Structure 1
Amino acid sequence: MTHKPTGQLFGAGGGGDLAVTRTFRAPAEDVWASLTEPGRTARWFGPWEGAAAPGASIRVQMAFEEGTPWSEVRIDACEPPRRLALSMRDESGDWRMELLLTERGDRTELRFVHHLDDVRGIGEVGPGWEYYLDRLVAAREDAPMPSFDDYYPAMKAYFEGLRATR
C-alpha cells in the first residue's frame, strides 16, 4: 500500500519543528483519550505505566519497535484536551514532542510536532511518525494496521528533501 507523506519542517538553523497532522471526525475529548489512556495507546503506540501528571515521568513501551523497549517519558505539559508536551531520552538521543488538538465543527485536527535539535536524521524520523499516526487512525477506525515497510525507506527521500529546501 502507498502512503503519502504529510510532514512539514518549520524553523531555521540546525534544528526545526517537524509537524505531522491527522484529522478525525470526533470531538477533541475522544481524540485526547486515544492519546492518553493506556488501553487506547496500547493499540497504536504502546502501553504506558505510572502516575501521569505535569512534571512527572511515566514508562512507555514502544510496542511496535524491535525489541519492544521501554522508555522514560517526562510529561512537560498536560492541558486536556488541547495540548500534551513530552520529553524522552533514549539511545537515539533527546526527543521533545507536542500533541496539539484543535476542534473545528465535528472534526478534530491532531498536529504532532517533534522539536528537532538537529534535522540530520529526519529521513528516518519522519516516516516513523507518519507510520505511528496512521496506526492511530487505523486503531480509531478498527481498520487493519499499516506495515512500517510501506513507510520506510519509501518516505526517506521526501523527508530528506524537506531538510534540503531550508
Structure 2
Amino acid sequence: MNVETEQGAWALGIELSRRSGTKKIRFIHELGPSDDPSTIGPGWEYYLHRLLMHLEGGDVESVKGEVFYPALAPA
C-alpha cells in the first residue's frame, strides 16, 4: 500500500505468518531512490520499541526518540 507522508509517498506492507506456534510480523518499507535510510531506519526502531513497550505493559512515553536518532543513523 502507498501511504502519503510529509516526505512523499511510501510503499509500506505487512506480512503475518505462523510456524510451529510462533507468530511472526514482518514490516516492509520499500525505499525509493530519494529515501534516506539513515533517517527512516532509526524512526522504525523508535516506533517498534514503543510497540514492544506497550505490549509488555510499560510506559511508551519512556521510549525517547533521541536514543535512536541520530545515534543509529550510521547503522
Query: How high is the TM-score relative to the length of structure 2?
Result: 0.82
Cα deviation code 1:114-141 (max 9, x no counterpart): 0111265110000101111111111111
Letter matched to residue 143 of structure 1: G
- Match of 1:152? 69
More helix by share: 2
Is 1:111 aligned to 2:26, yes or no?
yes
In the alignment, structure 1 segments of 5+ residues that lack a partner are: 1-85, 159-166
TM-score (norm: length of structure 1): 0.41
Measure the CA separation in 1 of the matches of 2:14 and 2:46. Answer: 16
Aligned to 2:16, the other structure's residue is in SS state strand
Going from structure 1 to structure 2, the CA distance change for 1:106 and 1:138 (only over 3 Å counts) comes to farther
Corresponding residue for residue 46 of structure 1 = none
Query: Helix, strand or coil for the counterpart of 1:108?
Result: strand
Does 2:44 match 1:97?
no
**Aligned pairs, number:** 73
Alignment of 1:77-88 (within 5 A): 86-88=1-3
Structure 1 moving runs of 4+ over 2 Å: 104-107
Structure 1 or 2, whichever has the larger Rg, is 1
- Aligned identity (percent) is 32
Given residue 69 of structure 2, which amino acid in structure 1 is its aligned partner? Answer: Y
Aligned to 1:21: none
Unaligned residue ranges in structure 2 (runs of 5+): none
